[in-house]
């Protein structure tokens, strides 16, 4: 049965190739062989997307008030832009990038300290710590280890 299906698909691909060329056949074969089971690399997110995501996360985890949410959204955008700039500037030097990111996180925490309550700040620290622990370890090229 599988051989019959394969032969039918193969024949169809030959016909498609004769009509449309190799590129479409390559895409179809790739889809048939690989399918959608392989994770696609994540699409780069804009600083605005990162800030929006971070604000939603904080709003849900920390029960922010509307007033706090507005302020936190602005702060998250500011730091997301700074983070994006660091990634662009130090993309080839992971050690320097890491130290700059740690410093940026400290700065962000200091700014948030003026907006969040003590309980919220404690919860923020705990949640941030959990997020760091859940990240996969990286090799020296900046890629997750398999």
pLDDT digits (tens, 9 = 90+) for 121-143: 999 999 888 887 877 765 555 44
Cα torsion at 113, 115, 117, 121 (round to 10°)?
-40
Cα torsion at 65, 66, 67, 69 (round to 10°)?
90
51-88 residue pLDDT tens? 999 999 999 999 999 999 999 999 999 999 999 999 99
Position 103 scores a pLDDT of 95
Alpha helices in 21-117, H assignment, sequence order: 22-34, 47-62, 66-89, 94-113
Biggest CA pair distance of the chain: 69
pLDDT top residue among 74 and 40 = 74
Residue 145 has pLDDT above 60, yes or no: no
Q: In the chain, what is the straight-line distance between the N-terminal and C-terminal CA atoms, in Å? A: 35
Position 84 scores a pLDDT of 94
Position 131 scores a pLDDT of 81
């Amino acid at each position: 049965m599988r051989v019959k299906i394969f032969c039918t698909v193969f024949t169809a691909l030959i016909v498609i190739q004769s009509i449309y060329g190799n590129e479409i056949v390559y895409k179809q074969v790739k889809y048939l062989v690989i399918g959608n089971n392989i994770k696609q690399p994540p699409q780069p997110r804009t600083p605005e997307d990162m800030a929006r995501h971070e604000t939603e996360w904080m709003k849900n985890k920390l029960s922010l008030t509307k007033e706090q949410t507005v302020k936190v959204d602005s702060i998250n955008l500011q730091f997301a832009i700074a983070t994006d700039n660091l990634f662009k500037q130090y993309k080839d030097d992971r050690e320097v990038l890491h130290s700059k990111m740690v410093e940026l996180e400290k700065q962000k925490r200091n700014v948030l300290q003026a907006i969040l309550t003590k309980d919220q700040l404690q919860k923020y620290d705990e949640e941030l710590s959990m997020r760091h622990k859940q990240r996969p370890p990286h090799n020296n090229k900046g890629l997750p280890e398999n």
